Structure 1
Amino acid sequence: MTDTMTLPVIASADSLDQYMRTIKSFPILSAEEEYKLATRLNKDNDVEAAKTLVVSHLRLVASIARNYSGYGLPQSDLIQEGNIGLMKAVRRFDPERGVRLVSFAMHWIKAEIHEYIVRNWRLVKLATTKAQRKLFFNLRSMKKSQSASLQSDEVAHIAHELNVKPEEVLEMESRMFGHEISLEGNADDDNEDVFSPISYLQATYAEPSEILAEQEAEHLQTTGLSSALAKLDDRSRRIVEARWLQEGSSATLHDLAEEFGVSAERIRQIEQKAMKQMKGFLSPA
């Protein structure tokens, strides 16, 4: 299987609707069907099995790509870049690790789209602190009103959902729609807490090129994920799965706080501890 396998193509902006109708015609695979196809691909390098896995997840790519429509880039290009990430995920998917392809592929799809944004969006307008990074890819989609500026109730809602301060929401809004700065940031700035867009848009935590360079480590992490999750207590495992492995939208800290009857801060602490434990479980001996 190659990353250039034949897929439905969006020939022009006018054909996007036709493309969406086409991909909706492909059936969604059951867990058993997905497992059998992935096993055939891994054991026999079955290209037809790979193609079936890919086309059954094209709707996932289109759904993810819609979340990046606010950057002024063609939706068709975002989808095609996401499809490349999907194909890379299918090629590396291990059906024995107990995680559905949809969860595994999301990171690869987003990484390809992020890299495309870095290469092509010439109007990156902000250099952000660590606390503000999460706002960059969420602020546009969470804005509900049509007004030029966020309303006070919107600011409060976004701050609550993303667990940041209202002042940070307003600052991010002003930076995203304010003056243009370099993608690389200020080279003379020695402040370690300042990040230029290039630092985080590449999503290096799941960057395909980095993972390819460390195949042995990637193999250990993917095959050991189920084992690492199994070693967590029930509450910690539920939180990690809901926050990182849940199909569709992930649960917020406040969703889980309500479920367990504790504060959002307590959920964050449990999540951090669980992730640290899993990192230890996945590290080579």
Structure 2
Amino acid sequence: MAKGRRNDSGDAESGRDATPEGGEAPATAVVAAPVKRSARSAPRPAKGAVEDDDEEAGDGEADGEDDEPEAVDAELVDDDAIVGAAEPADDEVVETDEVIEAPASKSEGALTRFDPMAAYLREVQRHPLLTPEATKELAIRFQTTQDPAAAAMLVTSNLRLVVKIAYEYRRAYKNIMDLVQEGNIGLMQAVKRYDPYRGVKLSTYAALWIRAYILRYVINNWRLVKLGTTQVQRKLFFNLRKKRAELQAMGIDPTHAEIAKQLDVPEHEVAEMDVRLASGEKSLDAPVGDADGSSTTRIDLMPATGDGPEALAASEEMQTLLKAKLGEFRVTLEGKEKDLAIFDERLVADEPLTLQELGDRFGISRERVRQLEQRLTTKLRLFLSEELGDATEVL
């Protein structure tokens, strides 16, 4: 069967299926060219963080064939320092006419497994690409009127770019459709925040947002437990193994200290991330040893974090004894109205009164109440020391 391919004229409508008589041809999906640079993992990508050797789709053209995904420089995965950088120049985007084709059926009559990615590529191909002039016009219209139709056209015309960038991380996360969906969210954010008056192509700006959302999704879903929540941890997540391989290739022993020096991070962070990457999760509810059919789980074997029965009993006994001794001490204060008030309303009260409130009650200053309280506290400490001895140390 014949496959529709892009013609030499670079027409934006090329890439649709060519259907000869007697059968239908599978669609050929055109995907944007690789964008070889890293983005920040926060939802905000850095403006202007486009390297000189970047390859990326223009607003009005379909772009190139996918390269193997490379290790990401997580130093750019930063929640801060995102706004305020200069926008990249328009000529930093390299365009190409290569295409990536959706998988084709082996034969007309054979049963084939449904491929959601191939179906999505065919759907993406239905949306026309826009010229730079049309893109700018729609962006201005959306910026001034918030017209959802204009935003929808800007998003759908760049869906190929999302697929291309998502394919760069297919080794890091096997479900490519999840990456595409996350990248689409980044694309919508880019359209929402795009400024057409800065002289930067939408595809250049959107690639940063797409990559940032995909990177954030990868690191958040690498395992059930997040591996990196800080900038240093994200940097190590994306670069630790890569840097270790580089040092080994140069004949250098990749110790934690050497890697920390190379990546400019604390050594203990390197050791911690190394352990995280080398180990996996284990369910606490999983049975331990199924040979004898035991129902014991890992959580049953974990030591208790609270006090044991003996400690609880001793603590309860001490509280009872202390309460009794405080009652005996209060008896010694009979006839001393101020001391009784301070003892009841300040020293043992759940919600003690302020010094000012007690001072107003007895017509004395706050400082005088404080002096009386300090004297009473000293007397109480001496009384408990005489009655309880060394047991007062645990109170």
TM-score (norm 2): 0.32
The structure number with the bigger radius of gyration is: 2
Higher percent of residues as helix:
1
TM-score (norm 1): 0.42
